[in-house]
Structures are given as C-alpha cells and as structure tokens.
Structure 1
Amino acid sequence: MMAQRLFGCGTALCTPFTADGSVDEVALRALVEWQVGAGVHMVVPCGSTGEAVTLTPVEHRRVVEITVEQVNGRVPVIAGAGSNDTQRAIATSIEMKAIGATHLLHVTPMYNKPPQRAMLAHFRAIADGCDLPIVIYNVPGRTAINLEARSCLELAVDPRFVAVKEASGNLAQITEIIRERPDHFAVLSGDDSLTLSVMAHGGDGVISVVSNAVPALMTALCDAMGRGDLLEARRLDARLAPVIHAAFVESNPIPIKAMLAMMGHLRDQLRLPLVSLLETHHPLVRAALVQAGALAS
C-alpha cells in the first residue's frame, strides 16, 4: 500500500542558540512542542532557516535527534541532509536515518553549479545510499542553479523521491510539475507568499518560514485549501501577508528569529556570517506580529 502523499504546513525550524552561541536544547524542545501542538503537519530541522551550514556535524545530529525525540512520532520529521558533496550528503543521510528522521530534505548542490544531468546523478546516488524517502529542495536564489521541471519530473517517477520543496518562485515551472507529477509525489511551496497560489493550482502545501512564528495560521490556510474552502484560505492569506512581508525584510532567518525573540521563544542569536535584525526593522516586524494576533500590542 502506497504511503499517503505529504500534505500541509511543514515548519522549517529555526535553531535556537544560547548567549554563548551553542545550541539551546531547551528552547529547541519547546519550539518543536509548540509547533506540533499548534497543528503543523510536519517539521523540517536543519534546513536554510535552521542555519544548518553553520552547525557542526555533532550539532546537526543533536538538533535532529532532539526534534525526533520531541515529536515522538506525531508528525513526519524531514531532516535537512543536503550538501554540495554527494558523498557527504549520503553520509549525513545515513546518520539522519539512524536517529529516527522519517524523511530527508536534499537541496540542489550549491556553488558547484552542476548541469541538469549531474543533478540527476547526485540525487539518485543519495537515494541509492540511503533508503529514507527524499524531498527535493529547489532554491535557485541560494544555490545559483535551478532544477528544471523536466528534471524534477524525471526524479519524481522514482518512488524514493516523494516531494519537491519548490522555491524557484516560477509559477509556470511549479504548475508544470503539479500537472505532470505521479500520484505519490507532493509539490510543496518553498515560498510562504506563494502557498495559496501553489495549492490553488493543485499543490500540496508549504515548507514554511513564517510558521515558526504563526504555526496555527499557516496550518489553517493549508487545511482550508485541502478542503476546498478558498474564501477562508484567502482570508487567512491576507492575515498572513504582513508577517510574510516582515519575515523577509532581511535574509532569512534574520527576521524570523527576531520575531521569535519578541514572542519569547528563543534568543535573537544567530551565527556569523548572519547577524541580528537591524533595529530600524523592529517596528515593522513587531507591528506585523500584532496585526496577525501573535503578539499583544
């Protein structure tokens, strides 16, 4: 029997840090518990929003381990395991499986700039090396390469690939994948602002940045679209719009960490080369949270 296709809101979890810059395990557990309690459909540790590129291998393992423990089987845990070194990606994948992740998130290889045929070889080698289901992550704005619709669909026929997090911002490309994908393959928006549009075209949800701060709202939007209630989904999308705008006034995860700090969930602590949000943006961010009902005025 085929597993149910991934659906809904997956939170691309922030990684909380203590004042001395180490992983804040207490805050991480609390963040994961809050997300699951708010109804998110899946959690995604150690992606871009989790500052995975600045975590040591030991820290990466620990963040996913804590997430798996705290989730305790309630929702899928899609662990970031990507690398622009295929062998490293395989090794990380094997480790993520060993500590209980249910899925892997694998980004297109950044910096190397492989052609389409090389990206296909990269993803297939990872699938050969570890038997967890894979979510492909296409984010050209960070990697400088785009996994074209034809390439994504070529991977999608292989049941080891179960979804794509599509953050190209190219709706024509995304809708081509939606139209031609096999039944088992989910299409998840990688851009919060396009969630409604992607789902209206038949997509399955979002791996979200803003759901770190407003998990119930983004989950409700996905649920509304899942039951065909476009009017309610549009209302929720309008309510989310100021938060989405504020969450990207500087590079992610700078603004979302500022939001979570304002809400008392973690310290506004990032690792270089990222720094805290400019003070001049704080009024905008705070006002967006108040408007969404996430923070008292």
Structure 2
Amino acid sequence: MFQGSFVALVTPMREDGSVDDESLKALVGWHVEQGTDGIVAMGTTGESATLDEKEHCKAIEQIIDYTAGRVPVIAGTGANSTTEAVRLTRCAEQAGADACLLVTPYYNKPTQEGLYLHFKAVAEAVDIPQMLYNVPGRTACDMLPETVGRLSGIANIIGIKEATGLLDRVSQLRELCGDEFDIFSGDDATSREFVLAGGQGTISVTANIAPAEVHQMIAAALDGDTGRAEMIDKAIQPLHTNLFLEANPIPVKWALHEMGRIPTGIRLPLTWFADEYRDTLRQAMIQASVLQN
C-alpha cells in the first residue's frame, strides 16, 4: 500500500510549548517539494507523548489539511491503553488520514497474546488501514514476528514499522505475513540494508533534515541500485547516529532550528539539546550538506 521515504515529522513549538502552526505548514510544504514520499504525523518524533488527545487530533487534522492530498499521511495513534488507542485511531480516520501507525503499548509490558488482542481490538473498532509499530528500545516490549504474522491475517492491518534494527526480521516477516504486507524500517542506521533485503521503505527521523537525500537513497535501494544507495547513505550516515545523541526528538528539533525551519520550543520532560553535543551534530549536518560551514 505504501512505499518509499516517510518522514516521522517533528511538531514545531514556540518557546511556551504551543504548537507553531505556521512552521508546521511550512515544514509540510518543504517535504513535498523535497520528494518525501509520505508524512507520519504524531509519532514519537512528533512528541505525541506530551500532547493531550485534543492537541493530538488537531495536529493530525492540520497536517492532513496542509498536505492537501499531495502525499499520504499516516497518523500515529498508538497508546498503552487500548481504549485510548481506539479513540485516537477513530479521530485520525475522521480527519481523513490514509492510515494509522500504532506503537506497541509501552511501560505495561503486555504478553504476546496481549499484543495480539490489543491490535485486534483496535482494528475491529476502526476500519482505517493500520500499521503496527515495534520499537522495543523505547517501549520495553518486543512484538515477535509470529505475533505480527497472526495480526497480518486481519484485513485492515496492512504493515509494520520494525525498529529493532535486526535485518533478519525482514525475511521472517515476509515469510509469515506474505507479499502484500508493508514492511518498513524504523531504524535510520540500517534502513538502506533493510530495503535492499526486501522492505518497502523507511519511516525516518533523518528525513526531517535531509528529506531529498533519504528519498533518493530509499528510491535507489528499491530499484536494487546498491552502489547508488550506499553512496548516498554514506554521506548522511553520521546523521543517523548523531541525531540520537540525546533522546529523539531533542537533537532533530535543534538541527531544524539551526536550519532556520522551526523555533526552539519543546515540552517537558524533554529539554533543549545540550551544548556539549552541538558541535558534533553540526559537523554531521555540514558533512551531509544540509548546513553550510
């Protein structure tokens, strides 16, 4: 259903923490111009954990409005409460999202059966196409390929964002879920190899500041052009590492501010990027040609 480079979009905020609608609209327009294949609204990078439900739904509506059908929008609607995930997913469906992305419930550490029943319940409650999101490094919960295979049999569960960085998951998931199931990387450092191994694309943090480069790299990988994909990836590889010097989205919001694209707002408990890491990230941005020396 989906393919290519999807940006896990930041949510621009003013100093007081309010959402900066003007910067958000400009970011969406820039991504469309730069060739980004799709936008993920209100994921981890969008600070979904610090927005309340009303703000969450409004941001999704705004991004869909600003995109104006030019690229697909996948709305992040996951929660560690099944009832909350249903409410957010229904909100995204009503706003006109193309699909929803639902993270595994965090903190409460459900069993594999609990994960199956959670996602099954949301899929049965809301008809919109839904992508699973497995990121155990943040949720303390790893949804195993066998569980994903069971869930792939539900008609409106159409794919997964797999952020373990384990490349053998691609072949495991493909065998269990079939050729029609979308398998996306959620790990920038391994996304090129992930797509070359059979994935459909990436949902990327790096694409926030290097949208054209990530798009071109993923397009080359999808075409099987290993050499071109590797050449592009090599130039932006330091970004994949240094955009995680502190918890995402702290570094990427600072990087976008350095590029003049967003103000300095971020919500507690997240804090502004520490001085000690800035030169390292700035040099990576210069190397990737997204910032002038």
- 1-side partners of 2:290 and 2:107: how far apart? 37
Counterpart of 1:98 in structure 2: which amino acid? Q
Matches within 5 A, 1:126-145: 126-145=122-141
Q: State the partner residue of 2:116.
A: 120
Offset at residue 114 of structure 1 (A): 0.9
Offset at residue 179 of structure 1 (A): 3.6
Residue 135 of structure 1 contacts residue 161 of structure 1 at CA under 8 Å; is this kept in 2?
yes
Offset at residue 162 of structure 1 (A): 1.2
Counterpart of 1:155 in structure 2: which amino acid? L
- Partner residue of 1:42 out of 38, 45, 66: 38
CA deviation map 1:122-158 (0-9, x unaligned): 0010001111100100010111110001111111132
Offset at residue 183 of structure 1 (A): 2.1
Q: State the partner residue of 1:170.
A: 166
Counterpart of 1:205 in structure 2: which amino acid? G
- Partner residue of 1:8 out of 4, 9, 29: 4
Q: State the partner residue of 2:93.
A: 97
- Partner residue of 1:200 out of 196, 201, 219: 196
Counterpart of 1:213 in structure 2: which amino acid? I
3-state SS of paired residue (2:121): helix
Q: State the partner residue of 1:220.
A: 216
Unaligned runs of 5+ in 1: none
Residue 195 of structure 2 contacts residue 201 of structure 2 at CA under 8 Å; is this kept in 1?
yes
3-state SS of paired residue (1:50): coil
CA deviation map 1:45-82 (0-9, x unaligned): 10100110100222111211110011111111100111
3-state SS of paired residue (1:170): coil
- 2-side partners of 1:22 and 1:59: how far apart? 10
- 2-side partners of 1:10 and 1:290: how far apart? 23
Offset at residue 175 of structure 1 (A): 2.9
- Partner residue of 1:264 out of 247, 260, 263: 260
The 10-residue stretch of structure 1 (152-161 or 233-242) with the greater mean CA deviation from structure 2: 152-161
Q: State the partner residue of 1:186.
A: 182
- 2-side partners of 1:184 and 1:75: how far apart? 21
Residue 149 of structure 1 contacts residue 174 of structure 1 at CA under 8 Å; is this kept in 2?
no
Residue 175 of structure 1 contacts residue 198 of structure 1 at CA under 8 Å; is this kept in 2?
no
3-state SS of paired residue (1:252): coil
**Structure 2 length normalisation: TM-score?**
0.98
3-state SS of paired residue (1:19): coil
**Structure 1 length normalisation: TM-score?**
0.96
Matches within 5 A, 1:1-80: 5-80=1-76
Residue 132 of structure 2 contacts residue 160 of structure 2 at CA under 8 Å; is this kept in 1?
yes
Unaligned runs of 5+ in 2: none
Offset at residue 210 of structure 1 (A): 0.7
The 10-residue stretch of structure 1 (33-42 or 172-181) with the greater mean CA deviation from structure 2: 172-181
- 2-side partners of 1:74 and 1:159: how far apart? 26
CA deviation map 1:15-66 (0-9, x unaligned): 1101211000001111111111111111001010011010022211121111
Q: State the partner residue of 1:251.
A: 247
Counterpart of 1:189 in structure 2: which amino acid? S
